[in-house]
Amino acid sequence: GENVEQHPSTLSVQEGDSAVIKCTYSDSASNYFPWYKQELGKGPQLIIDIRSNVGEKKDQRIAVTLNKTAKHFSLHITETQPEDSAVYFCAASKGGSYIPTFGRGTSLIVHP
Amino acid sequence: NAGVTQTPKFQVLKTGQSMTLQCAQDMNHEYMSWYRQDPGMGLRLIHYSVGAGITDQGEVPNGYNVSRSTTEDFPLRLLSAAPSQTSVYFCASSYGTSRDTQYFGPGTRLTVL
């Protein structure tokens, strides 16, 4: 089955810096890669996703890049703010699968 | 829409007790799933369902039972609670496939003494 590895497990940055979280996947058939943000005491919530027919997608301060050849994808957050502090999960899935496979999560801490 | 709701929010059990975690969604989603979240382990899939009457095991199913009698509800049963089941449990639903957005509930924090 699919295996998704996520790094780093913890990321500490100063407000205004950029943050990058990286994930690799094992199944070359995977073609959908969402990112979820989990704020303290809440369930994860989708923030951005990318499909295998595109290499990059942006939404204001967040962007996701995908390298299908290397089987890795990354989340980029620019101009970080304290409210970006949360746990971020990447995931991967493919057609015919029922449930996406999640990475282990990255705890992002943005210091004011 | 209320989205995905879970009850209770917190629960303390003694070893050997049984209980049911409730999950309901009002979005007419076909797919529902249960995850447990432990420090450093991310989200691990316990059981999932692709429609009423259909369930299957995930990565960590031992000690848990599920059933799906209606589209809206997907309860998770702990038959004989063990300290290893101390965790935060999340229910999620999605419209149809693994490439649709997963909507998560607020979670149930369970402690087994």
E strands in A8-105: 10-14, 19-25, 32-38, 45-51, 56-59, 62-67, 72-77, 86-92, 101-102
A112 shares contact with chain B (CB less than 8 Å): no
Please check the confidence at residue A98 and state whether its pLDDT lies above 90.
Answer: no
What is the interface size between A and B, counted as CB pairs within 8 Å? 63
DSSP-derived 3-state class of residue B84: helix
Min Cα distance A93 → chain B (Å) is 6
- The mean pLDDT of B79-103, rounded to a whole number, is 90
**Environment class of residue A16 by beta-carbon count within 10 Å: exposed (0-12), middle (13-18) or buried (19+)?**
exposed
Determine whether the interchain pair B97/A98 forms a contact, defined as Cβ–Cβ distance below 8 Å: yes
Please check the confidence at residue B97 and state whether its pLDDT lies above 80.
Answer: no
% of chain A with per-residue pLDDT over 90: 86
- Rg (alpha carbons) of chain A, rounded to whole number: 13
Distance of CA A92 to the CA centre of its chain: 10
Determine whether the interchain pair B106/A89 forms a contact, defined as Cβ–Cβ distance below 8 Å: no
Distance CA B56, CA B99 (A): 18
Please check the confidence at residue B98 and state whether its pLDDT lies above 70.
Answer: no
The pLDDT value recorded for residue B41 is 86
Determine whether the interchain pair A43/B97 forms a contact, defined as Cβ–Cβ distance below 8 Å: no
Which residue in chain A is spatially nearest to B30 when comparing CA positions?
A98
What pLDDT, in 10s, does the model give residues B41-59? 889 999 999 999 999 999 9
A103 shares contact with chain B (CB less than 8 Å): yes
Distance CA A54, CA A66 (A): 8
What pLDDT, in 10s, does the model give residues A34-75? 999 999 999 999 999 998 877 999 999 999 999 999 999 999
Which residue in chain A is spatially nearest to B5 when comparing CA positions?
A43
B104 shares contact with chain A (CB less than 8 Å): yes
% of chain B with per-residue pLDDT over 70: 97
> Is residue B61 reached through a cis peptide bond, with omega within 30 degrees of 0 on the bond before it?
no
